[in-house]
Structure 1
């Protein structure tokens, strides 16, 4: 493919490496932009969709990802529609009684950046607009991955345009941001290790709801929520709802987590199904009247339910000159609000690592593989910890009646004194651990040490 061809013998430095990105979601867009901002000249992004007509619901943007977005030059645009969160209220779902309140007025002072909520379209749109400003990035829409043909020394893959013949692409590095159903991951594990990717059914599903200001303004309690700078979480046995304003407080976003009993019979490759409003109201029938009134605003026929999926920790993210990114290698439950953040951070760390390959080793497949393995060593412990925290927090939030719940609620009340609450997303001690983490600085400081720790013969597993 012309867009991916350069004279390898003339390669002077890392900027001449051909980077192919599979997928134009948050991780793919963030990765492409990070490489372009680092000076790479040849970045091709392959996306199955015909365009990036952004949809979706609300999303949280914590300080650790805003730090990256600011460096990528796209935060200012995204921030225009974002809500600057000043606190979170954790409430008993059945009574609306507040169990705990964590004040967050000093995020900027503590971590250099705010904690914000926004619409997914604003975040993805800001990343995409940043990419469009970079001449090094070329998008190939309506083009699906067929498979990886070779992993090294120069990886090759076959892609197929929707209305055209399949063709082969050669690159120096292929970065797969192709999501939880990643074809690249499945093939990598089979070819590299002779194993299969094992998905896990989390037993949870989610409703995602967007209520307009015009629908809420007649209700004083609802409009107070929309006009606040607060994230609210209503919790109950095996269920919760988290809600916050987005889009300049013109939309109130509600995301739930509940047992996927209504979804269990569905067979849908997208992990989504049209839900029943009657069933949704039944799932939350014992939640407080305020929640009931909001759920009742959802139009009949517009209830959509997502199955929340994960897969077991992977033995490797790297094979040859190919690496996995984001949900392709570390999908998570949404309870820590770090899914998109981790994917965008992945791209920033990859660009930093790959830029450190010495000019004399740019055509050395072993050097490329080891650099990608450094990326994995940098990211895997961190992402594993957040995935585990999300699962733990979900179990804690969903406790039923009994001593364990009584102890949890006591800990919520003591939270302001101890600096720790059971909702790990809102817990100040956990926030400090995540929000103060500078993924690029970590890569800069630890790259040489981790590279040296890799034996010259180890290119496949860690």
Structure 2
């Protein structure tokens, strides 16, 4: 069974609620980091309220690709690592089972246990059933048009259904029927951005986590997964602190970076490379890619779609980062 991201978020939230030591501050953003060590202090800014100062032993900044913590860290260290436009955008669509009961072909997709990818020049759609086969989840990728002139802080926009249908007008009839089921006025488009690899994820007692330090394109399905790996490693490492001094905290966060940085950045580039191969236009490279797909049907081999490639899957799912953190912490700590 495959769940939706909201199910994951809800599960994490419920798990946190069970811990009495966790206190939530909803609708509150990290404003600016004032000090990095020995105690980290930062401004918290409620949506409807006065800013207040927070002091912490450790700050794990998982504040996304628009991270204020990253902004302040890079400014403090005199580092430039700009957000990069990928010239790609995405529609995210969920089709309810009740909407396709009279369409046997679409019901077959809903009742299947497979992920389907439709690809075309500079575009693709990936889709699969979720929530006990009651919802068909679709994610697209297409050239960025609506955000081209938008300010850098704009990441989502209400899209046009006719424009969406036009972008995928040459895709198969199943896609046309699925996209036509999207209610007018409920088309939402996301801009896909990344940023240059950072020289460091750590400063003082602050560590960047997830999209704040390694945002990735969705072509490898590793965005949230890599953030979870970050969190899992940090959880193991902080449980091994020999003491709570700022120096020990900083070195431990550097161990986190040592375990995670190269792996995460490799997968970020692999996701981008997979997108480039999926989106090929006419020419020799596309012909070779299509030949490999045909060969795959007959006798297996390399998969041009890296998400489905056995060797790539082994690289992604065959590494136990928590085990590495548990077994190699002391040696890595001493080496820093």
Report if TM-score (shorter chain) is over 0.5.
yes
The TM-score with structure 2 as length reference comes to 0.96
Instruction: Give the equivalent residue in structure 2 for 1:189.
Output: 74
Instruction: Give the equivalent residue in structure 2 for 1:32.
Output: none
**1:73-115 CA distances to partner (integer Å, 9 max, x unpaired)?**
xxxxxxxxxx2xxxxxxxxxxxxxxxxxxxxxxxxxxxxxxxx
Q: How many angstroms apart in 1 are the aligned matches of 2:152 and 2:67?
A: 16
Matches within 5 A, 1:273-312: 273-312=157-196
Q: 2:256 aligns with which of 375, 386, 396?
A: 375
Please report the RMSD computed on the Cα atoms of aligned residues, expressed in angstroms.
Answer: 1.4
Note the C-alpha offset of 1:400. 1.1
Judge conservation of contact 1:342–1:383 (CA < 8 Å) in 2: yes
Structure 1 window deviating more from structure 2 (158-167 vs 316-325): it is 158-167
The TM-score with structure 1 as length reference comes to 0.70
**1:8-50 CA distances to partner (integer Å, 9 max, x unpaired)?**
xxxxxxxxxxxxxxxxxxxxxxxxxxxxxxxxxxxxxxxxxxx
Q: Does the C-alpha gap of structure 1 residues 221 and 268 become closer, same or farther in structure 2, counting only changes over 3 Å?
A: farther
Judge conservation of contact 1:185–1:197 (CA < 8 Å) in 2: no
Q: How many angstroms apart in 1 are the aligned matches of 2:163 and 2:112?
A: 30
Q: How many angstroms apart in 1 are the aligned matches of 2:21 and 2:291?
A: 55
Instruction: Give the equivalent residue in structure 2 for 1:141.
Output: 26
Note the C-alpha offset of 1:268. 6.9
Instruction: Give the equivalent residue in structure 1 for 2:113.
Output: 229
User: How many pairs does the alignment contain?
Assistant: 335
Q: How many angstroms apart in 2 are the aligned matches of 1:261 and 1:162?
A: 31
Instruction: Give the equivalent residue in structure 1 for 2:36.
Output: 151
Q: 1:211 aligns with which of 91, 95, 98?
A: 95
- Say which SS state the counterpart of residue 137 (structure 1) adopts: coil
Q: 1:442 aligns with which of 294, 316, 324?
A: 324
In the alignment, does 2:198 pair up with 1:314? yes
Instruction: Give the equivalent residue in structure 2 for 1:174.
Output: 59
Note the C-alpha offset of 1:270. 4.2
Q: Does the C-alpha gap of structure 1 residues 413 and 344 become closer, same or farther in structure 2, counting only changes over 3 Å?
A: same
Matches within 5 A, 1:228-247: 228-247=112-131
Structure 1 window deviating more from structure 2 (306-315 vs 128-137): it is 128-137
Instruction: Give the equivalent residue in structure 2 for 1:424.
Output: 306
Q: How many angstroms apart in 1 are the aligned matches of 2:119 and 2:45?
A: 45
- Say which SS state the counterpart of residue 306 (structure 2) adopts: coil
Instruction: Give the equivalent residue in structure 2 for 1:391.
Output: 272
State the structure with bigger RCO (CA 8 A, min sep 6), 1 or 2: 1
Instruction: Give the equivalent residue in structure 2 for 1:348.
Output: 232
Structure 1 residue runs without a partner (length 5+): 1-82, 84-116, 455-462
Judge conservation of contact 1:399–1:405 (CA < 8 Å) in 2: yes
**1:304-341 CA distances to partner (integer Å, 9 max, x unpaired)?**
11100000000110000000000000000001101111
- Say which SS state the counterpart of residue 210 (structure 1) adopts: strand
